[in-house]
Chains A and B, each alone.
Chain A
Amino acid sequence: MAIKITGEFEVKRNPEDVFDFLTNPEKFAPLLPEFQGMSKQDETHFTVKVNVGISYIKGVADVKMELAENERPRRAQYKGQGSVAGGNVSLTAGFDLSPNGEGTKVAWQGEAQVFGRLTSVAGGLLEPLGKKQVQKLIDGLQAALI
């Protein structure tokens, strides 16, 4: 089951500031919804722990993240893979930055591919829940980058 979401938002900071924020796991990761903790392996690899609660599937998921694209200050893309009881998820989150006056326009693309029993027992909930969680992340980013 694939969930694809795209959008854009504007912030007042310049593209370099925005890029540096987005590509710093210690700043970016805590904005992930239901964030519980993080361990950093190196500058481009880190693992986040997030709470998962969909239908009766509840638990903590370890999501291995990689900063896969890193073109300062134009584009950043994360790839991630995680598992929780009932399923696995592979995700990508890309950010394209462009100057917008003194600020920055951020065009983002998110895609999650869900595997496993999760898709059946919570299939109908996944897409709206995914959209809601992504919106939380975007709201968090906007708030942090004001």
Chain B
Amino acid sequence: MGPEAAKKNWVGKPLPRKEEDRLLRGRGKFADDIKLREMLYLRFVRSPYAHAKIVSVDVSAAEALPGVVATLTGAELAPQVQPFIEIAPDPGGKIKDYALAVSKVRYQGEPVAAVVAESPSLADDAAELIQVEYEALDPVIDGEEALKDASILHEEAGTNRVWRGVFEYGDADKALKEAAYVVNIDRMHFHRFSSTPLENNVVIAQWDPKDERIYYQCNNSFPSFAIQFLAAHLQVHIDRIRVQTSDIGGSFGIKITTYPQMAVCAMASKKAGGRPVKWVETRSEHMTSSAHGNERTFRDTRVALDKNGVITAIVSRHIDDCGAYPRYEPLGCVIWSQVFPGVYRFKNARIDFSQAVTNKCPVGPNRGYSRMQHLWFLERVVDICAHELGIPPDEMRLRNYIRPEEFPYTTPNGCVYDSGDYPKMLQVAKGLIGWDDWKKKQAEARKQGRVIGIGIGTTLDSGTNNFGQSQIVNPGAPFSGNSQGANCKLDIYGEVVVAVGSCPQGQGHETTAAQVVADVLNIHPDLITVRTGFDTERNVHTGFSGTYASQFAVSGLSAVHGAAQKLKAEMKRLASSVLNTKEDDLEFGAGAQGPEVRARSTGKSINYWGLANIVNVNSAVLPVEMHDVTLNCRYIWRAPFKVPDTVKKYGSLTLTYASQLHIAVLEIDRETFIPRILDYVAVDDCGTVINPGIVEGQVYGATAHGIGAALMETCVYDAVGNMLTSTFSDYTPITAMNMPKVKYGHTETPSPHSYSGAKGMGEGGAAPIHTVSAALQDALFADGIFIDDSFNNADSLFRAMVGKEISQAKQLVRVERRT
């Protein structure tokens, strides 16, 4: 064993993922793989209407079908439960949200009844026998229209406006008055799309009548949030709810809000005498009724610029559409403000932000949640101003970027950007794509009548959020700060076992946690077992545990690091006593007997089995003063946040800010109007990298997600609220066949806010959506077309370029020139 100072650093190494062997060989254990004795199967009956009164629900024919064990309706469940907790204050707080619709339905696909049967096919057949009579009501499909309250979704709230807040900093009016240019943009729109994880939602629930405990095996990706909602809803003590997850086939945030389905499965199990009940979501159910990303409209935007094109103020009115029930909302009404100025230096701004309910699928956190809409808005503002003022888009960004020497940078709303170097990222990205060559090629191609655009998207991935921001939307909300738990122990035979409170869905937590512990104990990561999945009974979770919001590298690994340090300290104490030497004489590493602690002065050592044996088995030899040593160390990491000023809407909302800079070269086919990416670069800065392979994989994944959202994936509703894209053939999720070759680049500005310098990453800040919009803008601005929507396919480009019916710059943009 060499000296500890010469130990290998596993953090930073492209270690192959520990998870890969089982996942790639089909040996992963997913929720639907679990089969329990006497298991029943649940099927939902869903509303075909977007907005309708429920006149009657007749379950008699279904209940008469042999093999059907129980049915459930909203009217039956409502008296047995409390409505789900609403995060919003009144009037949004008055909304009564039940897992099954009680007196009316508010979106197509809303569960109205459930049937539980001995087999999935019997449940399917029985569901078709349930007769529901509806009386159609006027649907509200558009967020802006919803704010007019012509048709109210939730009568108890009395309005469709869930929340409104004005975020005002500096003196925007003064800046507008003194500006050399004011660019007015009438309307922009960020479209509704979702995530398409390989594995849909799955819930297995068992309400055990013997001890009145509820046992869940599922793939919810934020279980500690779900159990808080479930305990209050089902009126059981939270300790009586056990949630276990195993491998999860993707979530992207969309699996956070499955607690309504979890509630129905538990109540169905209770009615069925405690038999376990499994619900496996179909793809169409997932598309119509799991959760979508937020849709947002940006109105009456005014941008003040000085004579050099430096933005001095932005004023705008934003309307967020959260679908039929707020659920995780209205947190999204403030989460966007984690990145209030984006990557730019302007200090004066006023954003009047409202959120409305509409007769569409409820939204849920979706990769880049709430921030990507705002960052797309800012990138559109920058590009539109650049084009209108005749400033090249790269130069426009350099004039407006926060400068490297300004970090840590405090934003107008009090957030602290930890580190970054956006000009360097731009330089690296331009180098990788061959910016100057493409500019020449673009000019030549245009002479030939080809439509080619080059676009830049700079974005942020804010990670490890301060839940105190919930108090900005509701001062009575009981959440603030952030914490994560981990446990690190020597098992009875000396095995190093790590448990974390996250529930990874492909992020490689088992690998990165092992890397961190391996560095602490100076052993190989293969000698460390990291427990898979989440389990409330491991007792490592906190109220914020789960996998979301780009934070594991900071919060999760800080907890793991803390637990490993605690374990190491206990091992040192014990080894010092056993080896009769001082603690600073000890070194950690691996010897002939496996992992061990060794005294440098004498060469004597004790291996991990020996240490664990003394504590757990051979305890008579344990000195009394060592009786507090457990070698089983739980550590809770807490982010150093304060509750923000809820009146001024000011304070630190996120701990780390990873950044992405993408460049796309894109051509629109003159005959088919199909946009095709010719070249693409993605440069990422997530601070100190824990595992380069995992980071690169996340960048590719986020890039694919964003390109799909920009060009292929949109949730389309017709005028009466039918969702027209409930299958893959209509929604057209991106596949490997549609992906361009992505050139990957990396820059590194370590975060001063995390112990390792790492920043949370993985959401990608929706960089491709901004970048593709920018490239389309570059291609079409000369033709008087301005990209005012985040979704652009051949149809919309045809309508803009040939039909001239949408996206016409003259109608949407007006510039006041005062120089």
* A contacts, CB < 8 Å to B: 1-2, 59, 83, 85-88, 90, 113-121, 123
Contact = CB atoms under 8 A, between A and B. Distances in A.
Contacts of A59: 128
Given A90-B136, A116-B108, A123-B724, A1 B718 contact: yes
Given A88-B134, A115-B108, A120 B723 contact: yes
B206 interface: no
B522 interface: no
A115 B725 contact: no
Contact of B727 (A90, A114, A115, A121): A121
Q: Which 5 residue pairs spanning A and B have beta carbons closest together?
A: A116-B48, A120-B726, A119-B722, A115-B48, A88-B48
8 contacts: A2-B720, A114-B722, A115-B720, A117-B46, A117-B726, A120-B288, A123-B722, A123-B724
Contacts of B727: 120-121
Contacts of A88: 48-49, 134
A90 B49 CA distance: 11
Interface in B46-96: 46, 48-50
B722 A116 contact: yes
Nearest to B284: A117
B444 interface: no
B730 interface: yes
B284 A119 contact: no
A115 B722 contact: yes
Contacts of A114: 722
Contact of B725 (A1, A113, A116, A120): A120
A127 to B, nearest CB: 12
B719 interface: yes
Contacts of A85: 128
Contacts of B723: 119-120
B49 A115 contact: yes
A69 B819 CA distance: 68
A116 B724 CA distance: 9
A114 B49 CA distance: 9
Contact of B719 (A2, A87, A120): A2
A120 B48 contact: no
B726 A121 contact: yes
A47 to B, nearest CB: 13
Given A120-B727, A121-B726, A113 B720 contact: yes
A119 B725 CA distance: 9
Interface string B96-119: 000000000000110000000000
Interface residues of B, number: 22
Given A59-B128, A121-B726, A121-B727, 7 more contacts: A1-B722, A83-B48, A115-B50, A115-B108, A116-B48, A118-B48, A123-B730
Interface in B692-739: 718-727, 730
Contacts of A117: 46, 48, 108-109, 284, 288, 726
A1 B722 CA distance: 7
A83 B55 CA distance: 15
Contacts of B724: 1, 119-120, 123
A21 B108 CA distance: 38
Given A85-B128, A90-B136, A120 B722 contact: yes
Contacts of B50: 115
Contacts of A120: 284, 288, 722-727, 730
B220 to A, nearest CB: 25
A121 B109 CA distance: 14
A11 to B, nearest CB: 35
Interface centre among A59, A114, A123 (most CB of B within 10 A): A123
B57 to A, nearest CB: 13
Contact of A1 (B134, B720, B730): B720
Contacts of A121: 284, 726-727
A31 B721 CA distance: 32
Contacts of B48: 83, 86-88, 115-118
Interface string B486-507: 0000000000000000000000
A27 to B, nearest CB: 28
A57 to B, nearest CB: 11
A119 to B, nearest CB: 4
A123 B48 CA distance: 14
Nearest to B731: A120
B760 to A, nearest CB: 36
A120 B48 CA distance: 11
B582 to A, nearest CB: 72
Contacts of B288: 117, 120
Interface string B278-306: 00000010001000000000000000000
B718 A119 contact: yes
A114 B108 CA distance: 12
Contacts of B284: 117, 120-121
Interface in B329-382: none
A119 B481 CA distance: 45
A1 B723 CA distance: 10
B313 to A, nearest CB: 44
B608 to A, nearest CB: 57
Nearest to B49: A115
Interface in B411-426: none
B603 to A, nearest CB: 73
B793 to A, nearest CB: 16
Nearest to A83: B48
A17 B288 CA distance: 49
A87 B542 CA distance: 43
A118 B128 CA distance: 14
B753 to A, nearest CB: 45
